[in-house]
Structure 1
Amino acid sequence: MSTSQKATKLELFNLKSKPIQTFWITSIAFFMCFFSWFGIVPFMPQVVKELGLTPDQKWNSIILAVTGTVFARLLIGKLCDKYGPRLCYTWLLAVGSIPVICIGLVQTPLQFLICRLFIGFIGASFVITQFHTSIMFAPNIVGTANATSAGWGNLGGGANRLGMPLIAAAVISFGVAETEAWRYSMIVAGVVCFLMGIVYYYCTQDTPQGNFKELKASGKMPELKKDEAGFGAAVKDYRVWILFLVYAACFGMELTVYGTMDDYLQNTFQLERVTAGNLVLSFALMNIFARTLGGFFGDKFGKLKGLKGRVLFLTVILTIEGLMLATFSTVDNFIVAFIFLICFSLSVQMAEGATFSVVPFINKKAIGSISGIVGAGGNVGAFLAAILLKSKSAVAEKEAIAGTSGASEEIIKAAQSAASSEAVASGYFIIGILVVITAIVSLTIKFSEEDEKAVVLEAKTV
Structure 2
Amino acid sequence: MIGELFTKPTQGRYKILHLTWFAFFLSFVVWFNFPPFATTIQQEFGLSGPQRGTIGLCNIALTVPARIIIGMLLDKYGPRITYTCLLVYSAIPCLIFATATSFNQLVVGRLLMGIVGAGFVIGIRMTAEWFPPKDVGTAEGIYGGWGNFGSAFSAFTMVLIAMALSFLPGSFSFAEAKPFAVLGMTFSSEVLNWRAAIAGSGIFAALYGIFYYFNVTDTPPGRVYHKPKSARGIEVTTVRDFWFLMAMNVPLTGILMVLAWRLQKVNFLSPSGMVIAWIGLLGLYIFQSYNCWAVNKDLLAGRKVYPAEDRYRFKQVALLELTYIVNFGSELAVVTILPAFFEGTFGLNPAIAGMIAASYAFMNLVSRPGGGIISDSVGSRKWTMAVLLIGMGICYLIFSTVGSGWPIAGAVILVMVCSFFVQAAEGATFALVPLVKPRITGQVAGNVGAYGNVGAIAYLTTLLLLKEALVPAGDITDPTVIAGTAAANAAFFQVLGVAGLVVGFLCAFFLDEPKNSFADAHAGQEEAAVPVVPNPSVMG
TM-score normalized by the length of structure 1: 0.87
Q: CA deviation at 1:153?
A: 0.7
Relative to structure 1, is the Cα distance of residues 110 and 457 closer, same or farther in structure 2, using a 3 angstrom cutoff? Answer: closer
In structure 2, what is the equivalent of residue 269 of structure 1?
A: 346
Cα distance change of structure 1 residues 175 and 373 upon mapping to structure 2, 3 Å threshold: closer
Q: Distance in 1 between matches of 2:205 and 2:342?
A: 33
Partner of 1:439: 504
**Number of the residue aligned with 1:424:** 489
Q: Which residue of 2 aligns with 1:213?
A: none
Q: Which position in structure 2 is the counterpart of 1:388?
A: 462
After superposition, what is the alpha-carbon deviation per residue over 1:95-150, rounded to whole angstroms, capped at 9, x for unaligned?
12210121111111111112111101101111001111011101111100001111
Count, aligned residues: 429
Match of 1:214 in 2: none
Match of 2:197 in 1: 185
Q: Which amino acid aligns with 2:120?
A: F
1:227-262 deviation digits (Å, cap 9, x = unpaired): 338722287412101100101110110110011000
Partner residue in 2 for 1:199: 211
Match of 2:402 among 324, 328, 331: 331
Pairwise CA distance, 1:458: 3.3
Counterpart of 2:436, as a letter, is I
> 1:10 Cα deviation (Å)?
5.0
Q: After the TM superposition, which residues 98-113 of structure 1 pair with which residues of structure 2 at under 5 Å, given as runs?
A: 98-113=92-107
The residue number in structure 2 matching 1:322 is 393
What is the aligned partner in structure 1 of residue 366 from structure 2?
A: 289
Contact kept in structure 2, 1:227 and 1:365, CA below 8 Å? no
The aligned amino acid for 2:447 is I
Q: 1:145 to 1:453 in 2, by over 3 A?
A: closer
Asked if the contact 2:319–2:511 (Cα under 8 Å) also holds between the matched residues in 1, the reply is no
C-alpha separation in 2, matches of 1:69 and 1:365: 23
Report sequence identity in percent: 31
Match of 1:215 in 2: none
| 2:422 matched residue in structure 1 | 348
Give the structure 1 partner of residue 227 of structure 2: 225
Q: Structure 2 CA distance, aligned partners of 1:13 and 1:400?
A: 59
Match of 2:117 in 1: 123
| Matches of 2:5 and 2:502, distance apart in 1 | 38
Tell me the equivalent position of 1:368: 442
Say whether 1:158 aligns with 2:152. Answer: yes
Q: Is the 8 A contact 1:59 1:390 kept in 2?
A: no
1:454–1:37: structure 2 CA closer, same or farther, 3 Å change rule?
closer
Q: Which runs of 5+ in 2 are unaligned?
A: 174-191, 246-313, 528-540
CA distance in 2 between partners of 1:8 and 1:34 (Å): 24
Q: CA deviation at 1:377?
A: 1.1
1:72 aligns with 66
Picking from 445, 452, 456, the partner of 2:515 is 452
Between the aligned partners of 2:485 and 2:425, the Cα distance in structure 1 is: 28
Tell me how far apart the structure 1 counterparts of residues 438 and 2 of structure 2 sit (CA, whole Å): 18
Q: Is the 8 A contact 1:35 1:157 kept in 2?
A: yes
Query: 1:135 maps to which residue?
Result: 129
Secondary structure, aligned partner of 1:177 = coil
Is residue 16 of structure 2 the alignment partner of residue 22 of structure 1? Answer: yes
2:43 pairs with 1:49: yes
Say which is worse superposed, 169-178 or 197-206, in terms of deviation: 169-178
Question: Structure 2 vs 1, CA of residues 434 and 158 (structure 1 numbering), >3 Å: closer, same or farther?
Answer: same
Residue 172 (structure 2) pairs with residue 169 (structure 1): no
Mean Cα displacement is larger for which, 325-334 or 74-83? 325-334
Partner Cα separation in structure 2 for residue 8 and residue 163 of structure 1: 28
Q: Which amino acid aligns with 1:239?
A: Q
Q: CA deviation at 1:18?
A: 2.8
Gaps spanning 5+ residues in structure 1: where?
A: 1-6, 211-219, 402-408
1:247 has 2:324 as partner? yes
Return the offset for 1:338: 2.6
**Stretch moving more, 255-264 or 438-447:** 438-447
Amino acid at match of 2:52: K
Amino acid at match of 1:65: N
Mapped to 1, the partners of 2:229 and 2:107 lie a distance apart of 38
Structure 1 residues 16 and 184: CA distance shift in structure 2, 3 A: closer
Letter in 2 for 1:312: W
Contact in 2 for aligned 1:400/1:419 (Cα 8 Å): no
Contact 1:94 1:193 in 2 (8 A): yes
Residue pair 1:330, 1:429 contacting (<8 A) in 2 also: no
1:15/1:269 CA distance change after superposition, 3 Å: closer
Q: Which moved more, 1:55-64 or 1:242-251?
A: 55-64
**Closer, same or farther in 2 for the Cα pair 1:191/1:457, shift >3 Å?**
closer
Q: Distance in 1 between the 2:341 and 2:359 partners? A: 16
1:52–1:109 CA contact under 8 A, matched in 2: no
Q: 1:360 to 1:444 in 2, by over 3 A?
A: farther
TM-score, length basis structure 2: 0.75
* Cα distance between partner residues in 1 of 2:23 and 2:522: 29
Q: Is contact 2:96-2:105 (8 Å) kept?
A: no
Aligned to 1:313: 384
Q: Is the 8 A contact 2:42 2:48 kept in 1?
A: yes
Specify the code of the residue in structure 2 equivalent to 1:264.
Answer: F
Contact 2:359 2:416 in 1 (8 A): no
Rate the CA distance shift 1:84–1:175 in 2: closer, same or farther, 3 A.
closer
Q: Could you tell me whether the CA contact under 8 Å between 1:315 and 1:442 is conserved in 2?
A: yes
Deviation at 1:173, TM superposition (A): 4.2
Match of 1:77, as an amino acid?
Answer: G
* Paired letter, 1:343: V
Flag the structure with higher helix content. 1
Cα distance between partner residues in 2 of 1:382 and 1:26: 25
- Change in CA separation of 1:174 and 1:100 when aligned onto 2, cut-off 3 Å: closer
How far did 1:454 drift?
8.0
Q: Please give the alpha-carbon distance, in whole angstroms, between the structure 1 residues aligned to 2:386 and 2:15.
A: 33
CA positional deviation for 1:315: 0.3
Cα pair distance change 1:101/1:421, threshold 3 Å: farther
Match of 1:87 among 77, 81, 90: 81
**Aligned residues of 2:435 and 2:522 also touching (Cα < 8 A):** no
